[in-house]
A and B are shown apart, each in its own frame.
Chain A
């Protein structure tokens, strides 16, 4: 409507294909650098605590989003244990392809943190996962770690 003339043959309804051709390299930032290095070197999650708000963020960040205090000097090591805050059994990849094996994606509330880490669960049957399940991070061997969130292979039910 609104046009004086329209396409009236299917064959004339054409399209043009294209893309946005880009490549990125991201720095993790001042806080992120330390967060990733803590995974890499110490197998621990680094958080940041805002004393005024009583909130512990993880990953560590340089500012408290609630009160805008600078918390760059209040980083805390949170270890690698926590509980499942929420989970999903995921059957598709991010580009929409059906996975052969579904993965379990979870929000992990690390002990001592208020925030959550998004990661995968492993060494567990989907049917056995529940909210509140205690879990721990499984790290790749040191030689395979690169300073990435993927240095953590997954979380698994905590032992003991």
Chain B
């Protein structure tokens, strides 16, 4: 049996946006207020505490010898408790990146009006095992000059403004030699 146009005709009634915004159909609104306080636990708790100190901390697994970031209390690959804390550098390498013209609300940035695109990247952190990265933002660089493999460095908030959060790092910027190629 083929699925035909006639068969599907009445299965869904396509509304236009204005049918909803102008209430041509009845609507019921709701704004849930669902809030959480997630326990950090030892690994992420320490990670955040060290970010407040202006440092990035990792956890090591003696068996696979990985230096893991974000830190975790167990090695998910070896299936054993992780062993030690170790500080890694606040520099790294761009693994991959995006030049985003939209924000998290799917709103458009005013690129023509001069707003800088957002440039998130996966940054492999120096001192952590190869390929172990974190998601963060790049800045102080022309978005179109960003390259995979580029060396970058964390730009921290001033100590007094840090609160134990991933945003205590404002963004990563190119390490000095690359910077000349920026704007």
Contact = CB atoms under 8 A, between A and B. Distances in A.
A22 B30 CA distance: 9
A95 B83 contact: no
B85 to A, nearest CB: 9
A36 B25 CA distance: 10
Contact of B83 (A4, A15, A18, A32): A4
A40 B25 CA distance: 13
Interface stretch (B33-41, B118-126, B139-147): B33-41
> Which 8 residue pairs across A and B have the least CB separation, nearest first?
A4-B81, A147-B26, A15-B37, A19-B35, A14-B45, A24-B30, A14-B40, A26-B28
Given A27-B15, A27-B25, A19 B34 contact: yes
B64 to A, nearest CB: 15
Interface stretch (A5-13, A43-51, A82-90, A125-133): A5-13
B4 interface: no
Interface residues of A, number: 32
Contact of B26 (A13, A17, A28): A28
Interface string B23-58: 001111111111111111110111011000000000
A148 interface: yes
Nearest to B15: A27
A8 to B, nearest CB: 9
B73 interface: yes
A3 interface: yes
In this complex, the member of A13, A14, A24 whose beta carbon has the largest number of chain B beta carbons within 10 angstroms is A14
Contacts of B36: 17-19
17 contacts: A3-B73, A7-B45, A12-B46, A13-B40, A14-B39, A14-B45, A15-B39, A16-B37, A16-B44, A16-B48, A19-B34, A24-B29, A28-B27, A30-B13, A32-B26, A36-B26, A148-B28
Interface residues of B, number: 33
Interface of A: 2-7, 12-20, 22-28, 30, 32-33, 36-37, 40, 95, 146-148
Contacts of B28: 25-26, 28, 148
Contacts of A15: 37-40
B97 interface: no
Given A14-B49, A27-B26, A147-B26, A20 B34 contact: yes
Contact of A25 (B13, B29, B34, B83): B29
B164 interface: yes
B153 interface: no
Contacts of A5: 42, 73, 81
Given A25-B27, A26-B27, A27-B20, A18 B32 contact: no
In this complex, the member of B15, B38, B42, B83 whose beta carbon has the largest number of chain A beta carbons within 10 angstroms is B42
